[in-house]
Amino acid sequence: MCGIFGLVEHSDNKTAKLFRDLFLLSESRGKEAAGFALKQPSGIRVFKTPFPASDLVKSEIYRSEVSHWDSRQFIGMGHSRLVTNGYEQFDINNQPVVKNGMVVIHNGIIVNESSLWIKYSSHTRVSELDSELIPTILKDNIDKGVDLGQAIGTLFKEISGMSNIAILSENNNNLVLATNNGSIYYINNQKNEFFVFASEKYILQQLIDKNKLDISSDLIKQLLPQNVACINLNTLSFTLAAFGISLDNLELSSSTPAIKLLKDKQSSKQTYINTSLEHTNKEVDNSFISTYYERKLKIDNLKRCTKCLLPETFPYIIYDKEGVCSYCNNYHKKDFKGEAALTWVADSFRRKDGKPECLVPFSGGRDSSYALHYVVKELGLKPIAFSYDWGMLTDLARRNQARMCGSLGVEHILVSADIRKKRDNIRKNVTAWLKRPDLGTIPLFMAGDKQYFYYANLLMKQNNLELSVLGENLLETTDFKSGFCGIKPDFRKGNTYSLSPAGKLKMIAYYGKQYLLNPAFINSSLFDTLDSFKSYYIIKHRNLNIYDYLKWDERTIADVLINKYDWETDPGTRTTWRIGDGTAAFYNYLYYIVAGFTENDTFRSNQIREGDLKREDAFKMSLEENSPRWDSIQWYCRTIGIDFEQAIQTINNIPPLYDNY
């Protein structure tokens, strides 16, 4: 999730630059807040801000504290935050966390925080952060007579989710690191009295290259899951231990240096209000509910394929004499390569040196979650999980990512976009769309997420990986999105993102026309949209799809995720599909009200064609799944900054396609 890092070395003319580079390199993991802690003989100085690291390093207080460092030894650690708990406009919710004589930075999510705060209710809670539990639980155990190493063991037994932590304390001269999934890398160069750590190996490699450090890449080591590292800040002696083992190089301080929270002068920059953290929803207007049921009555009476669920409003649909649609008549059942073939591929990428063997693009949704499970538990590979957070990844998805990576002990690299900018781009495109609604341009709302293909390729290169295992469910093909752009279905395509060269040209022409007809689309999101088209349709996708080998089985997947990993579902819907995607509830409501169907209908229809569902069962499922998820729609509108009532009213006023049938 977030980026954490630290540096310990004898001060020289590179110290300030090294620390600044660590901040900027770690910003890729979170751009919503930043902070640092510096340990001096007189105390630990802490500063945090609700702005990204690239702003923080330009601040007056950063220059005075870091750039003008005058102590013999530099000891510092920093945090670049991706917000999951607690409004970042309040400094108390940003990191480093200061409590009980400890300064803590934390990358991850503690998913059972609510039950743990009940257990530790005798301790005063001062923030909204799940990370505050770390010094709370450690102090509770230390007060019972155990040392810090044993207390860390108890901490990780009690917390669920993924956690990587670094600790500086008032009462000892040590830097302590701990992880349950391996998302900490370090360089321990005692010869040069130099220690540095970061959330990714590539960050440290870049630090070496940018500063031309005389350090071999072979010195970059991973702190393995379920392990603690303890660095004595006076001697730079280094100890590795498993969770729960006493730390033998802890050095108690002869004095107790104070922790001082630094305050910057009032910034003139406007503080961003993160509305995605607001979960109080308005009561839905009765007129909206009435409109939905009025439309549903008409939709229920549409002519549908006698084999699947697709209605007559579906683009390019043709029914034969028996009422079977052209999508069914041209469908070819999936031919799976089988588990043995998948194992053979996995065997060809196995390594003996303990290094990662593959990348798993990981949205936190059900298909990628099961793919990660299968790669680790069934194939026995060591993966790196990769996620791209573009601002519409829900808290539920993030918590499920933490559950999976923490339980499996899998390193998790999260690339965070400029979420505030991305959400503003979505707002501009949705606002433009509402001015001139067109079903073909709805995918502009989701354009910002497509760069994950680009970053997947980049991370493979950065981590010297040749295998990427994607969990792409081919039953999720939605031909109607390109169909509304005037592109006929290609029944031969092999994956959900395939489009013929002619289809790509038609799409470009279609969008070009729409931009001319609706100049409001010509806004700051344009370059992002073009980059998304390139990432989705142009660049080579270097992925092995696990569902080319394994038959996709909804019941098995749900059973494994929920029962083995306590995987979280959305209380607003019975489906486990798209529940981690903050955009889906909005655009599916739109498709339903205007066109009379949603992604759920195409997905369930493909299951019918595969023989996985009976038509009557699929129809019941789609009826339920197509019900408006009002809470999720309100979250979406609030998060991107549009008015929920105005948006729904505008959508409800669009003449539906089925009025012509």
- Rounded mean pLDDT, 77-96: 75
pLDDT at residue 32, rounded to an integer = 84
pLDDT tens readout for residues 520-559 = 999 888 888 877 777 777 777 778 999 999 999 999 999 9
Does the pLDDT of residue 498 top 70, yes or no? Answer: no
pLDDT at residue 524, rounded to an integer = 86
Q: Which residues face 416 on adjacent strands?
A: 389
pLDDT tens readout for residues 300-324 = 999 999 999 999 999 999 999 999 9
pLDDT at residue 493, rounded to an integer = 61
Mean pLDDT across the chain: 90
pLDDT confidence of 477, banded at 50, 70, 90?
Answer: confident
Does the pLDDT of residue 195 top 50, yes or no? Answer: yes
| DSSP-based three-state secondary structure for 404 | helix
Q: Which residue has the higher pLDDT, 134 or 273?
A: 134
Of 277, 479, 456, 444, the closest CA to residue 368 belongs to 456
- Rounded mean pLDDT, 449-468: 90
| Token duo for residue 268 | 């003139």
Q: 3-state SS of the chain: helix, strand, coil percent to 5?
A: 45, 20, 40
pLDDT tens readout for residues 593-606 = 999 999 999 999 99
pLDDT at residue 592, rounded to an integer = 98
pLDDT at residue 574, rounded to an integer = 67
Q: Dihedral of CA 197/199/201/203: which sign?
A: negative
Does the pLDDT of residue 274 top 70, yes or no? Answer: no
357 backbone dihedrals φ, ψ, rounded to 5°: -110, -15
Q: Cβ distance 131 to 97 under 8 Å? A: yes
Percent of the chain with pLDDT over 90: 67
Please tell me whether the peptide bond between 315 and the residue prior to it is cis, using omega within 30 degrees of 0: no
3-state secondary structure 33-80: EEEEEEEECCEEEEEEECCCHHHHCCCHHHHHHHHCCCCCEEEEEEEE
DSSP conformational letter for 425: H
Q: At 390, which helix (H) or strand (E)?
A: none
Q: Cβ distance 126 to 92 under 8 Å? A: yes
276 backbone dihedrals φ, ψ, rounded to 5°: -65, -20
Does the pLDDT of residue 227 top 80, yes or no? Answer: yes
Torsional class of 80: left (φ above 0), alpha (ψ -120 to 50), beta (otherwise) = beta
Where, residue-wise, is CATH 3.40.50.620 in the chain? Answer: 281-660
Identify which of 247-256, 532-541, 579-588 has the greatest average pLDDT: 579-588
Order across the sheet with 161-169: list the strands.
97-99, 102-110, 161-169, 174-179, 227-232, 238-242
Q: How many alpha carbons lie under 13 Å from residue 565 in its C-beta half-sphere?
A: 29
Map tokens 């993924």 to a residue: 162
DSSP conformational letter for 293: H
pLDDT at residue 188, rounded to an integer = 93
Q: Cβ distance 198 to 166 under 8 Å? A: no
CATH no. for 3-261: 3.60.20.10
Does the pLDDT of residue 86 top 60, yes or no? Answer: no
Q: Which residue has the higher pLDDT, 287 or 88?
A: 287
Where, residue-wise, is CATH 3.60.20.10 in the chain? Answer: 3-261
Domain at 281-660: CATH architecture: 3-Layer(aba) Sandwich (3.40)
Does the pLDDT of residue 269 top 60, yes or no? Answer: no
pLDDT tens readout for residues 138-172 = 999 999 999 999 999 999 999 999 999 999 999 88
pLDDT at residue 268, rounded to an integer = 46
pLDDT confidence of 265, banded at 50, 70, 90?
Answer: low
pLDDT at residue 89, rounded to an integer = 62
How far, in Å, are 201, 320, 347, 385, 466 from residue 459 at the CA level? 11, 48, 22, 10, 10
- Rounded mean pLDDT, 230-241: 90
Q: What is the DSSP string of 526-556?
A: HHHHHHHHIIIIIS----EEGGGTS---HHH
Does the pLDDT of residue 277 top 80, yes or no? Answer: no
d(CA 344, CA 346): 5
pLDDT tens readout for residues 337-385 = 999 999 999 999 999 998 999 999 999 899 999 999 999 999 999 999 9
pLDDT at residue 146, rounded to an integer = 92
| Token duo for residue 58 | 């330009």
Percent of the chain with pLDDT over 70: 93
pLDDT at residue 71, rounded to an integer = 66
